[in-house]
Structure 1
Amino acid sequence: MGAEENVWTQRVHEAFDAACRALHAVKARDAETIVRMARVVAEAFRARRRVYLFGNGGSAADCQHLAAEFINRFQKERIPLPAVALTTDTSVLTSIANDYDFRDVFVRQLRGLGEAGDVAVGLSTSGRSENVLRALRWAREHGLHTLGLAGLQMTDMDVYCDLILHVPDAVTARVQEVHIAVGHVLCGLVEEMLFGGAEPPLYPTPTVSC
């Protein structure tokens, strides 16, 4: 292996090490918060309420990913769970952005669909996405449970969220990697809370630590 290949290999190691540090930091600090979030979502589903997810860019993709895990299944054979990503309907998104303002693309959907007892989940790596903040603020004011996945900084998201998780890293990619990992943990916990424990274990003990 030449010198150039060694440099790129080192970059790979550095990226994985950074991702692992962010994941371990959240595991150590926020495990209880994740459990509390899962209980909020599970209780909402049990009460036949809905979960709405929203964010921009990579966070929008995460919202669609997690909504699919709930609607279809994560790891257990079970009934579909009513989760909606407010990031998917291009006609709705573009009409609201065109007729009103892009900052309203999520809150206007919540105003039409959301009801007290539902759950609003906002994802923002910066914590400052105005369309996410507007939706969370409206949800909080109208009796929806509000959950947030954010980045390093405390922002107005902290004001509008009942529960929020911060990823202690300034790099957007690291924050997004932790967000989807947390989302998967939430999906697994919700399935277990609603449909019983998993066998074999949901997350078998790894033979090699990250």
Structure 2
Amino acid sequence: ANLADGLANLADGLEQAGYAVSRAATGEEAIRICAESPPDLVIMDVCLPGLSGVETAKKIRQTSKTPALFLSAHDTEDLVKEAVADGGLGYLVKPVRLNQLLTSVKAALARAADIEALETTEEQLLVALKGDRNVGIATGILMERHRLTAAEAFETLRGGARARQRKLGEVAAEIVAAGETLSLPKSRK
């Protein structure tokens, strides 16, 4: 009862800090709750009745991309590696104080937002590279000339299009044309 009271107190503390909290006693219940209304973050005890917390978080992540923060009475290296490999954004060893949990929640939410932004940029980059040949070529030109990664070059191209209030494809076509002009061999007389 002491452990359950401690977890209930942490949940109450999260609510008092302004977070919406849903509670689940089993992995199956957590999966059902998350399927109905995907949360921004799952805080999961590693040891749950039925499915383990790591397995539960893995199943939740497959359907909703919801990241997890794990709590455990154990900090064995294998357990931590397994939790992090399956999308865990943090791992706290019990007993956990509320201020520790709040700090970890803030950090996990910030990291999740960063990951989501990177995934979105990557998806946009892939769509643009597949959908418009000039965008791909212009991205390559920017990468080569300015020593940028593909994502950085694409963001530079996209930022330039926004700044000029022009379509991405138009700006890309100009860069390609300029690149071809600069690459023309000198005529011989």
Question: Does TM, normalized by the shorter one, top 0.5?
Answer: no
TM-score (norm 2): 0.40
Higher helix share: 2
More relative contact order, 1 or 2 (CA 8 Å, 6+ apart): 1
Larger C-alpha radius of gyration, 1 or 2?
2
TM-score (norm 1): 0.37
